[in-house]
Amino acid sequence: MTLMLDFLPLLLFFGTFKFADTNKDAAAAFASEHFGFLVSGGSVGPNEAAVLLATLVVIAATLLQVLTLKLLRRKVHTMLWVTLALVVVLGGATIWFHNATFIMWKPSVLYWVMGLAFWFSQSVLGKNIPQKLMGEQLVLPAAVWQRLNFAWVAFFGLMGLLNLYVAYSFTQSTWATFKVFGATGLMLVFVLGQGFYLSRHLPDEDKPVPPAEPAKEASGERG
């Protein structure tokens, strides 16, 4: 359920963008008629409609995600609140100013916020987030936990830069595909790589202790 809620906004963003991008004129007319009051000037051009409609959908989907968790009485994690704030602020700016740049920056800002959280927690608060999340299941040396935390900081920093590279070097359609599938795939590869790294540092399982030999019964032998 949680996994579905996490990916739902991304999938809806991608589906809306692709559909609107292949029907630009119809999408522009629809956006201008129904959402023109949210846009500076009141009208949406054919080349703007796809990203504006997709941004509206992702804002609504993220709000729905938070509302659903609240109704289910489940915890809304800090990163989801941060995501909601970013998507509303940067997405709202994209819609009002007819400028996709704001929403394209949103993944990078979110990556850097998460990287900063991992760094701040370790360096300032003395708390290791990976150890806090997995410490009950894994027993590892402190140095391994620190390297693991630094790897996440580096990963988030590089992902933020990579998102901007794709956003400014390729078409909006390519960026939308990367945002949903490319970034998710890289995250999966990174997690698998960390799993392989951790497996090298796990302590060996205790070897089974052989059963004790039964005590010899008194045989009546005399010494």
Half-sphere exposure of 126 (CA within 13 A, CB side): 0
Rounded Cα distance between 28 and 24, Å, is 6
Neighbours of 110 (CB within 10 A): 21
Residue 212 pLDDT grade (very low, low, confident, very high; cuts 50, 70, 90) = very low
| Rounded alpha-carbon distances, angstroms, from residue 80 to 72, 114, 162, 204, 214 | 16, 11, 22, 37, 61
The mean-pLDDT minimum among 97-101, 106-110, 199-203 falls in 199-203
pLDDT confidence of residue 205: 52
Lowest mean pLDDT among 13-27, 127-141, 151-165: 127-141
What is the pTM assigned to this prediction? 0.82
User: For 197-204, which contacts have Cβ atoms below 8 Å and span 24 or more sequence positions?
Assistant: 197/148, 198/138, 198/140, 198/144, 198/148, 201/140, 201/141, 201/144, 202/138, 202/140, 203/139
Task: Please tell me whether residue 148 adopts helix, strand or coil conformation.
Answer: helix
Nearest to 181 by CA among 56, 14, 28, 2: 14
pLDDT band at 206 (very low <50, low <70, confident <90, very high): very low
**What average pLDDT score do residues 36-40 get?**
91
- Whole-angstrom Cα distance, residue 96 to residue 40? 5
Q: CA quadruple 130, 132, 137, 140: dihedral positive or negative?
A: positive
d(CA 219, CA 86): 83
Which is more confident, 49 or 218?
49
Cα separations (Å) of 86 from 70, 103, 135, 211?
19, 9, 30, 61
Closest CA to 62 of 86, 94, 44: 86
C-beta separation of 183 from 163 below 8 A: yes
pLDDT, position 217: 45
pLDDT at 208 over 50: no
